[in-house]
Amino acid sequence: MLFQLSLALLGFFAKVGIVNAAPTSGFPVTTSGEAFVARDYFYVGGNYVEVGNGHIFSNQMYVEKLSPFKASQPYPLVFIHGQGQTGTNWLNKPDGGSGWASYFLDQGYVVYVIDQTERGRSAWNPSGNTTLTTYSAEIIEQRFTATRNFSLWPQASLHTQWPGSGLMGDPIFDEYYASNVEFQSNTVVQETKMQAAGAALLKKIGPAVLVSHSQGGLMPWLIGDVVPNLVKAIISIEPTGPPFIEAVFSSTSARPWGLTNIPLTYSPSPTNATAPLETQIVANNAPGLASCIIQASPARQLVNLKNIPVLLETSEASYHAVYDGCTFQFLEQAGVPVEWLKLADIGIHGNGHLHFAEKNSHEIAEVLEAWIRKTRARLGVRKISRKGIPVPKDQTSPDSPTFVPTPSELHPNFILFSRIVSNHHTLIHRAAHSYNSYPYSQYTYMYFPADANHTTPCSSDPRVCDLAYRDPKSAIRDLITSTPSLPVRQHPKPARAPIRLAAPSKNHERVYEIERAAWSSWYTTLNVRGILHPRAVPVSH
Ligand SMILES: *[C@@H]1O[C@H](CO)[C@@H](O)[C@H](O)[C@H]1NC(C)=O
Ligand SMILES: *[C@@H]1O[C@H](CO)[C@@H](O)[C@H](O)[C@H]1NC(C)=O
Ligand SMILES: *[C@@H]1O[C@H](CO)[C@@H](O)[C@H](O)[C@H]1NC(C)=O
Ligand SMILES: *[C@@H]1O[C@H](CO)[C@@H](O)[C@H](O)[C@H]1NC(C)=O
């Protein structure tokens, strides 16, 4: 009568290339470990303009809203991509790995991903008097992906984090370059339109944290200037700079308003519109660092940005390493509460300009997320305690090959019984992760019933798939409410370690057996209520 419940957990398919063949069901699947989300899109801003034979809509901005199953963060994030890019930057990476949007969704953030005005899905007016331009593949190789081969600035030799050769013909490079699009060639036009569209977005969605990259970094200054109360913080990853001048690839004058080409609000208010700010040069004799142009003293203050915490983030090998220090000095001098994070200072080495697409992108995301949490506390928002369950460092991530969950990590609220044997698991795991992102996010797993052949339940029972894949949130809720005897808060403490790690099979699957002593009562309850896969019979021993 004793029967051994044989359950298996997989958690090891995050890496592309070690997943099983495509699943047999028609359910959504990703090989890149993207978070499970609800997606909406809408447009903000814009207006009808008259063209030759009628009207067209112009200056609107495409916005995609990605919501985790349980949003647990007080402010959403708005991601603003850089020149030649679109919102795809934040989705999965060109090497197939999971992107920053998923990372932050898994931490409980609502994420807004835009296409800048006149870019991607935001239409450009071909009847206007502006032009579009685009970057050649050579520019991308030289500046972003294969910088070591060109050595256009001293730090380029340190670049090691781009996956693949970074050159044309390399599949990852080609995939990335294929995502590049044409862009408004007049920055004054673009800044003006993005300021309006960005403000319209925040008026619609409420206060948010802006996360910008490169040319997208012009926009948070401009948006914060017009709706300061709606910008809770700015993470500026290698923003267009330095103040007043181009650097590294050119040395022409630029950005007369210091950070931007169009006006920002300074106090005292500048009187000369062509040269609004008086400047001085701060020589920099260190190798690989640009001399800076900052304001003459006393510096005019960016009064509308003075309460917005800013994190300026710079990598080790990017051309921004040459001059982001000037942008930092400028911000500080103008009274903006800015911190400068140089990744190399905290042991993150070898990144170029495209941090979000590089091999260690999640390591960087983690640091940025920690800054948001710290900053939120400073802003006086109710601090959410993140009482996690301490586990050894190398075992903290379920994506880590050394990860071994212990019983205390298996939070009972969120356990469905199963084993999962295809890349479906990623979805399931991520869903749980999102749903219960606080406070057990690192340690939450979902289980599905195993059958003797260890096939994914989804392949044979769509009902179970529905529960699991289509709507994990309500699946879990239903599971809990429909099974009152489920020990919702109390973890059943097995007398001895209930989990044994079996030898990994050749597809890197790891199988855990969980003893009846710990789990069979749940199993029985669920089974009786018909929640489990009917074929998932316990294996007798
Ligand atoms: C064309 O450009 C000028 C200034 O460069 C601007 O004033 C005008 O509004 C533009 N026209 C259109 C249709 O965009
Ligand atoms: C590019 O640089 C890398 C690293 O220095 C080197 O291994 C590779 O051979 C170079 N490729 C070309 C085409 O020069
Ligand atoms: C504004 O500044 C420019 C550049 O320094 C200068 O040539 C011009 O005369 C100034 N205009 C006024 C009205 O002061
Ligand atoms: C396992 O697979 C075999 C062969 O495909 C099949 O006959 C058997 O019914 C399967 N067992 C279960 C429990 O699904």
- The DSSP element (H or E) to which 313 belongs, if any, is strand 310-314
The phi and psi torsions of 66 (rounded to 5 degrees) equal -115, 120
Q: What is the whole-number distance in angstroms between the Cα of residue 219 and the centre of ligand 1?
A: 21
The phi and psi torsions of 193 (rounded to 5 degrees) equal -70, -40
pLDDT of residue 32: 58
Query: What is the number of the ligand 3 atom nearest to the C-alpha of 275?
Result: 2
Name the nearest CA neighbour of 340 among 362, 324, 364. Answer: 324
Rounded CA-CA distance 145/152 in Å is 12
Query: What is the number of the ligand 4 atom nearest to the C-alpha of 453?
Result: 1
- The DSSP 8-state label assigned to residue 301 in this structure reads B
For ligand 2, whether the C-beta of 148 sits within 6 Å is yes
pLDDT of residue 376: 75
Whether this prediction's pTM lies above 0.75 is answered by no
The set of residues, in sequence order, having a beta carbon less than 8 Å from that of 345 and lying 6+ positions away, is none
CA angle 103, 370, 365 (to 5 degrees): 35
Query: What is the number of the ligand 2 atom nearest to the C-alpha of 166?
Result: 1
The set of residues, in sequence order, having a beta carbon less than 8 Å from that of 485 and lying 6+ positions away, is 521, 525
Ligand 4: residue whose CA is nearest its atom 7:
453
Name the amino acid, one letter, at 376: R
Rounded CA-CA distance 448/498 in Å is 17
| Extended beta strands in 59-157, E state | 61-67, 77-80, 111-115, 132-133
Ligand 4: residue whose CA is nearest its atom 2:
453
pLDDT of residue 470: 36
The set of residues, in sequence order, having a beta carbon less than 8 Å from that of 99 and lying 6+ positions away, is 32, 34, 89, 90, 91, 92, 93, 356, 357, 361
Q: Yes or no: say if 152 and 99 are a contact pair by the CB < 8 Å rule.
A: no
pLDDT of residue 37: 85
Ligand 4: residue whose CA is nearest its atom 13:
452
Catalytic residue of the set 6, 72, 98, 214: 214
Q: Yes or no: say if 287 and 320 are a contact pair by the CB < 8 Å rule.
A: no
Q: What is the whole-number distance in angstroms between the Cα of residue 271 and the centre of ligand 3?
A: 9
The number of the ligand nearest the C-alpha atom of 56 reads: 1
Rounded CA-CA distance 516/505 in Å is 23
Q: What is the whole-number distance in angstroms between the Cα of residue 279 and the centre of ligand 3?
A: 13
Largest pairwise CA distance in the chain: 90
State the distance between the two ends of the chain, measured CA to CA, in whole angstroms.
9
pLDDT digit of tens for each residue in the chain (541 aa)? Answer: 232 222 222 222 222 222 233 333 333 334 557 778 899 999 999 999 999 889 999 999 999 999 987 788 889 999 999 999 999 999 999 998 999 999 999 888 999 999 999 999 999 999 999 999 999 999 999 999 999 999 999 999 999 999 999 999 999 999 999 999 999 999 999 999 999 999 999 999 999 999 999 999 999 999 999 999 999 999 999 999 999 999 999 999 999 999 999 999 999 999 998 999 999 999 988 888 999 999 999 999 999 999 999 999 999 999 999 999 999 999 999 999 999 999 999 999 999 999 999 999 999 999 999 999 888 766 654 333 333 222 233 333 333 333 333 333 333 333 333 322 222 332 233 323 333 322 222 223 333 333 333 333 333 333 343 333 333 344 444 444 444 333 332 233 333 333 332 332 322 222 222 322 333 333 333 333 333 332 232 322 2
CA angle 373, 488, 491 (to 5 degrees): 85
Rounded CA-CA distance 171/146 in Å is 14
Q: What is the whole-number distance in angstroms between the Cα of residue 124 and the centre of ligand 3?
A: 35
pLDDT of residue 488: 32
- Helix spans in 421-514 (H): 424-435, 437-440, 457-460, 462-465, 472-482
**Ligand 1: which of 47, 59, 129 to mutate, judged by most atoms within 8 Å of the beta carbon?**
129
Q: HSE on the CB side for 469, CA within 13 Å?
A: 23
Burial tier of 165 (Cβ tally within 10 Å: 0-12, 13-18, 19+): middle
The number of the ligand nearest the C-alpha atom of 274 reads: 3
Q: Are strands 38-44 and 54-58 parallel, antiparallel or unpaired?
A: unpaired
Name the nearest CA neighbour of 399 among 368, 445, 346, 367. Answer: 445
The number of the ligand nearest the C-alpha atom of 118 reads: 1
Asked if omega into 243 is within 30° of 0 (cis), the reply is no
Has 214 been annotated as catalytic? yes
